[in-house]
Structure 1
Amino acid sequence: MLATSRHLRAPLLIVSCLLVQRSAARDTNEGADSWNAAAREELTAALRVRWNEGQARNVVLFVGDGMGPSTVTAARIYRAKEEGRLAFEHFPHVGLLKTYNADRQVPDSASTATALFSGVKGNYKTGGVDQSVQMDDCEASLRPEARLKNMLHWAIEAGKDTGFVTTTRVTHATPSALYAHHANRNWECEQRMPASASRCKDIARQLVEDEPGRSIKVIMGGGRQCLNTNLTLGPSDPLDTWSCRRQDGRELVSAWRQDKEARGLRHAVLANTRDLRQMDVDDTDYVLGIFANGHLMYDFERDKSPDGMPSLKEMTSVAIKVLSKNEKGFFLMVEGGMIDMAHHRGYASRALNETAAMSDAVQEVLDWVRLMDRTDTLVIVTSDHAHALSINGYPARGNDILGVGGRSKADGVPFTTLTYATGDLHAYNYSVGPNGTVVRPDPSTVDTTSFHYHQQAAITSDEAHHAGVDVAVYATGPMAHLFHSLHEQNYVAHVMAYAARLGPYAPSSGARGLPQAGTVLVATVVCALVTFRL
């Protein structure tokens, strides 16, 4: 079946590309024949899709932090107009994920990452632990039975190489759920840990000192201020005031290097784009790339010289080259983390630009799959949660997605196509007018497409908050067809493990046997009948 899928993959990709090229060339005067022809081409491509039921040698999971459905739609228009697609929107298999936590309707990133990676949902702001651990309960997080294994553990146990790449701090919520077990995502370093958590290690120490962190082959992102006590500060690499700063005298980057030297492992510590580009991939097995004190700069503002910070695409490319040397395969998690940061601050333009940058990183992996004929690679793109970004106002087709979308019939003031439900004082931006009326600023008087423009928000708060809506999951490669419906978020880990025969689905796991296609079909039909009767 895998061999057949290899032959069918290329025509499918070609048809998909033709669809985009044709649609991008259309203007707004299409007739019925044009729409019908495009639909027939899309139907032809759909009919050519075949399930790849082979075993996944490699698994690449992209997490667009905060990349909900409205973000994907807006980023698509931002990058490729209404008719276009982002790289992952070509994938043949798509589903939806329910993102609620074990204890919250609207989730945070650490708990949702735990569900994605381990297959078990946890509580708000906890990571790598099950729902028996409440936020801030250090003692509960130390119980072995509460500590979860995930795709990273399972891949290492199977002899595969592992890594993660992020545009946030390497100790931030999403990556921390891969290697740490904690009762509060804010415990990135010791500075913000209360006395009640004295028996717990901070997240940075778990990454460098404990397993599986010590066995991760590729680690790239920011977060030097959580790893090192002594820092060099400057305008191009400021402190992240939203995070802690290590003050206990530890220099964990040096500790990481010393550990690799003591074990005789080929390694490299990277600090900028030059280091990344000059690294000898063939002579390096372990990589620690820490490119910023806090998060990496937004893609639009980062220093693109060799002395600056690398792009997500470039980090992903190097990670693939390092990990693919292992004949047993690899697991890689790539996070577009600054999508979420931009949304929290109310900068829709930055969020869309970061989503487009992640799409470029996805395309880099797809190009590698195609070039190396690695159809045994499962690639998944999803999000941990959405943001309360809306697209509204009936703007004309072709209108700038960051522009003005309409005019309020209540006060006559224009509004932008993109708005937030919540935001900080910069985004709220209302004032009291004559006779106590509320006055909203006119966005048509400023440049709403600027990376520095705050979208208006309906409710003022400390920042723009997460949304609790479902998010999409896109997949291609072995067992990608298992994403086909509305799923619980923790289902993703089970699909990855099943596709690669890892962890609970490994032949040596002692499980009662792997589900077979026919069994799954019968079970699905039975469940549907039961649900219908209920």
Structure 2
Amino acid sequence: MHVTLIYFTIFFLDFVTHAVKEDSGYWRSKARMEIRRSLSYEWNTNEAKNVIIFVGDGMGPNTITASRIFRSGETSSLAWEDFPHVGLLKTYNTNKQVPDSASTATALFGGIKTNYEVVGVNANVPLRDCEASLNTDNHVESIFSWAQAAGKATGFVTTTRVTHATPAPLYAHSADRKWECESRMPPNATRCKDIARQLIENEPGRNIKVIMGGGRQTLKSNVEATESDPLDAWACSRQDGRDLVDTWKRDKSARKVKFAVAENNEQLRKVDTDQAEYLLGIFANSHISMDWKRDQGPKGQPSLEDMTVKALKILEKSANGYLLVVEGGLIDFAHHRGQAAQALRETVRLSDAVNATLQIIRTEDTLLIVTSDHSHSLAFNGYSDRGTSILGIAQRSKHDNTAYTTLSYSTGGPNNYAYEITNNKAVRVDPSRFDTNEFTYSQQAAIITDEAYHGGCDVAIFAIGPYAHLFHSVHEQNYVAEVVAFASSIGEYGNKENSASIFAVDCILSFGLFLTMLM
């Protein structure tokens, strides 16, 4: 069955759910329809001319479930939940059970698990060890390097800084994710180049066709903060006098390629995608604003959907295909602040970007992947009635008769504090005193730290298109890069004869390891 017809059938079934009594016949009919849909799928073994990877930063399983309900109720689906192939990814890294975004992105995009908070290097590089990171034997090549070597166009879109932890491993090698610009680098790291300079000056960064997100403060020296576009005190601000946006322009002019630079919605809309071969869109000093308060006017900032569609229009001109990475990075940003409503909205906006992509691409030759780098400490509590707000009150505790919300956090910052002192006793704050549906409301947390921390559980991966069926069970996170390379014939899989020898060698090594274990 054609995928569009499948989606229409699912939409129609969800639509009539509210008009049909959910008796035994209804549920059996719905299950049989799922069986028919499953039987209709055939494995797609075409070569993937194009690959698109969507990463919801911090989008663990609970976030997906809650966002689905937030969007339009329990029976609805986010864009990727109807993809035919689903698996799970183990997110631990080489020295932590619970990872950060830089190490997990290195696994996703480079195929190598590594240490906490390092970028594009293997586990031989300890955190902040500049000298070890200079050894090219420790560098992890990314899928962007492989794709460019195969003649494919590459691009990435993010709602965070373009030098932030998730996009950085696509193009950089650094012993510390915080080295986005020179002002945060210690004196003993002067031989190392900051992440922003690697993006603009080095390969594969300088050959990336589309770069869009925030991060002006890491690319240009002494940028000014405004009320609507502040600097991020948590991140570095360039102070060395460099203007890397200008450097990017001069590089493209010298190479005689057509390019465009955009800093707001109006400028992005005016970009002629038929002409532009390269596009640099930097829309904020730090991260792009949270979607609920983003300025959508001409001088404001684009949505993830806007940036994704524009990126595709430029990349799809490539005769050899393209590789696009899209990060919904503010899901994580909201979770860290314990503000579930904002995290759910950002997840829905990621779904909108995926839906827009599905209207443009052909899954016959395009592998589309949706996943996350890690989970978060969001908890989904019992026992709220079906149809109630996912952000509302679940019920009252049988212990102290105090209400609690359906969503809470296991860890959180000071705004997530759950207790107050009454009559010299610690008493839990009653959330029913507040509007828990507000974007600015911070859910209660069991343990207060400086912010809500990442979670360590597996994350889901959803796929459609060529070789999507290779995601089918519980996988190590670095498996994703290997599948991308295999499906699109890049990297070590660029030569089919070489691919066969790779598998033969791996079989020999595995057998040798098995014999060693028996001794």
Give yes or no for TM over 0.5: yes
Q: Which residue of 1 aligns with 2:447?
A: 459
What letter is aligned with 2:14?
Answer: S
Q: Which residue of 1 aligns with 2:211?
A: 219
Q: Which residue of 2 aligns with 1:22?
A: 13
Name the SS of the counterpart of 1:365 in structure 2: helix
Q: Which residue of 2 aligns with 1:253?
A: 245
Alignment CA distance shift 1:400-1:270 (3 Å) = same
| CA deviation string 1:466-513 (max 9, x = no partner) | 000000000000000000000000000000000001101110784543
Name the SS of the counterpart of 2:333 in structure 1: helix
Whether 2:389 is the aligned partner of 1:400: answer yes
Q: Residue 363 of structure 2 contacts residue 465 of structure 2 at CA under 8 Å; is this kept in 1? A: no
**Distance between the aligned counterparts of 1:509 and 1:466, measured in 2?**
42
Whether 2:156 is the aligned partner of 1:168: answer no
**Distance between the aligned counterparts of 1:374 and 1:174, measured in 2?**
25
Superposed displacement of residue 429, structure 1: 4.0
Name the SS of the counterpart of 1:256 in structure 2: helix
Superposed displacement of residue 374, structure 1: 5.1
| CA deviation string 1:122-179 (max 9, x = no partner) | 1000010001011101110110100011110000000000000000000000000100
Give the TM-score of the pair, scaled to structure 2. 0.95
Q: Report 1:342-361 matches (<5 A).
A: 342-361=334-353
Q: Residue 414 of structure 1 contacts residue 443 of structure 1 at CA under 8 Å; is this kept in 2? A: yes
Alignment CA distance shift 1:455-1:308 (3 Å) = same
Q: Report 1:327-406 matches (<5 A).
A: 327-369=319-361, 373=362, 375-406=364-395
Q: Which residue of 1 aligns with 2:280?
A: 288
Q: Which residue of 2 aligns with 1:143?
A: 135
**Distance between the aligned counterparts of 1:223 and 1:406, measured in 2?**
42
Q: Residue 335 of structure 2 contacts residue 343 of structure 2 at CA under 8 Å; is this kept in 1? A: yes
Alignment CA distance shift 1:283-1:15 (3 Å) = closer
**Residue number among 64, 67, 89 corresponding to 1:97 in the alignment:** 89
Aligned-CA RMSD value:
2.0
Q: Which residue of 1 aligns with 2:125?
A: 133
What letter is aligned with 2:400?
Answer: D
Q: Which residue of 2 aligns with 1:5?
A: none
Q: Which residue of 1 aligns with 2:307?
A: 315
**Distance between the aligned counterparts of 2:188 and 2:63, measured in 1?**
39
Q: Residue 19 of structure 1 contacts residue 38 of structure 1 at CA under 8 Å; is this kept in 2? A: no
Q: Which residue of 1 aligns with 2:24?
A: 32
Whether 2:431 is the aligned partner of 1:443: answer yes
| CA deviation string 1:24-45 (max 9, x = no partner) | 4324951111111111111110
Name the SS of the counterpart of 1:112 in structure 2: helix
Q: Which residue of 2 aligns with 1:499?
A: 487
Superposed displacement of residue 93, structure 1: 0.2
**Distance between the aligned counterparts of 1:456 and 1:17, measured in 2?**
39
**Residue number among 414, 417, 420 corresponding to 1:428 in the alignment:** 417
Q: Which residue of 2 aligns with 1:482?
A: 470
Q: Which residue of 1 aligns with 2:233?
A: 241
**Distance between the aligned counterparts of 2:379 and 2:499, measured in 1?**
45
**Distance between the aligned counterparts of 1:509 and 1:425, measured in 2?**
58
What letter is aligned with 1:489?
Answer: Q
Alignment CA distance shift 1:509-1:157 (3 Å) = farther
Name the SS of the counterpart of 2:487 in structure 1: helix
Q: Residue 379 of structure 1 contacts residue 477 of structure 1 at CA under 8 Å; is this kept in 2? A: yes
Q: Which residue of 2 aligns with 1:468?
A: 456
Superposed displacement of residue 80, structure 1: 2.2
Q: Residue 24 of structure 1 contacts residue 83 of structure 1 at CA under 8 Å; is this kept in 2? A: no
What letter is aligned with 1:82?
Answer: E
Alignment CA distance shift 1:195-1:166 (3 Å) = same
Q: Residue 139 of structure 2 contacts residue 173 of structure 2 at CA under 8 Å; is this kept in 1? A: yes
| CA deviation string 1:204-229 (max 9, x = no partner) | 01111111111000000000000001
**Distance between the aligned counterparts of 2:98 and 2:117, measured in 1?**
11
Superposed displacement of residue 393, structure 1: 2.1
The gaps in structure 1 that reach 5 residues or longer are 1-7
Q: Residue 416 of structure 2 contacts residue 444 of structure 2 at CA under 8 Å; is this kept in 1? A: yes
Whether 2:408 is the aligned partner of 1:419: answer yes
Q: Residue 230 of structure 1 contacts residue 251 of structure 1 at CA under 8 Å; is this kept in 2? A: no
Q: Which residue of 2 aligns with 1:153?
A: 145
The gaps in structure 2 that reach 5 residues or longer are none
Q: Residue 130 of structure 2 contacts residue 189 of structure 2 at CA under 8 Å; is this kept in 1? A: yes
**Distance between the aligned counterparts of 1:23 and 1:367, measured in 2?**
21
Q: Residue 313 of structure 1 contacts residue 358 of structure 1 at CA under 8 Å; is this kept in 2? A: yes
**Distance between the aligned counterparts of 1:275 and 1:16, measured in 2?**
34
Superposed displacement of residue 242, structure 1: 1.4
